[in-house]
Amino acid sequence: MREMFEGMEVIRDAEMRRYTTLRLGGPADWLAFPGSGQEIAALFREAGKAGMPVTVIGHGSNLLVLDGGIRGLVIRVEKNMREIRRSGNRLTVQAGAMLGSAAAAAAEAGLSGLEFAAGIPGTVGGSVFMNAGAYGGEMADVTVQVRGVLPGGEEICLGREEMDFGYRTSAVRRLGFTVTEVTMELAEGDPAGIRARMEELNARRAEKQPLDVPSAGSTFKRPEGYFAAALIDQCGLKGYSVGKAQVSLKHAGFLVNTGDSSRDYLELVQAVQRIVKERAGVELEMEIRILGEETRG
């Protein structure tokens, strides 16, 4: 273990509730904070030799970690991988940079196309993984190249067409590789106008979304022909709760947490899915990822 983590920031028995926006989750056996794609590749190779399972996360804004925590190694691609470089109308961004930081850098450079991302609380790597989007924009619109590391430690580089973006999915999710760097192609624009658009979208988020309560963002994917929040609201579920997990009174698409039980949150998700299916005939699919074990053996 000492050789695997030499020169790297590592926490043993890390409480994952500290590393997710839901503020839920039991301990990870090991939590590492690499500073480069090379370090990520080395972690995969060494973990493979040791027979240790590996889980990769970003900022933790789209995750539910269960109460039993995560066995093996968790790699957090975030605070030590935040470099942003500009070349003409392109930004090349390390995967751990927050998407809002990339949007701010684009605005500062007078580059338009990332305004939609200003308030999305995730990393650039995570946003490409799930093709994050809002207000008519998504990562597929701007991404031209993605570099990453395969589970065996081999490096990979995909162009726009190879990324095979879809609604809340991409080749990253299907191939199971870890994003290390993303290049985005943007358009020249007026910095003041870009900032004004970002401020407008952030104000709309603050007005409509429960940003002051722990959540994982939008809990469910948009069903074809419907909006998840509208369905949940129409089924009378605003304020519905299980323990201290609750359907937000402000926005029914957000299931929020004020307690410390992943079990309560998961039961709330399942209850909402069941009731919407019974009353509206629509199946809601979770947008957030579930990681870990319900109990620690």
Q: What is the pTM of this model?
A: 0.93
Q: What is the pLDDT of residues 89-145, one digit of tens each?
A: 999 999 999 999 999 999 999 999 999 998 899 999 999 999 999 999 999 999 999
pLDDT at 1: 66
**Cα–Cα distance measured from residue 156 to residue 158, given in angstroms and rounded to the nearest whole number:** 7
Name the catalytic one among 39, 138, 181, 287: 287
The answer to whether 46 is a known catalytic residue is no
Whether residue 297 has pLDDT greater than 80: no
pLDDT at 6: 79
Check residue 5 and give its pLDDT: 80
Please state the rounded mean pLDDT for residues 241-251. Answer: 97
Catalytic residue among 168, 170, 215, 262: 168
Domains of the chain: 9-76 (3.30.43.10), 84-206 (3.30.465.10), 210-291 (3.90.78.10)
Residues 160-209 pLDDT 10s: 999 999 999 999 988 999 999 999 999 999 999 999 999 999 999 999 99
Catalytic residue (choose from 61, 218, 248, 262): 218
Residue range 16-35, pLDDT digits in tens:
999 999 999 999 999 999 99
Confirm whether 168 is a catalytic residue.
yes
Residue 12 has pLDDT above 70, yes or no: yes
Is 261 a known active-site residue?
no
- The number of beta carbons lying within 10 Å of the beta carbon of residue 134 is 17
Q: Which pLDDT score, from 0 to 100, does residue 296 have? A: 83
**In percent, how much of the chain has pLDDT > 90?**
93
pLDDT in tens, 49-88: 999 999 999 999 999 999 999 999 999 999 999 999 999 9
Q: Is the pLDDT of residue 4 over 90?
A: no
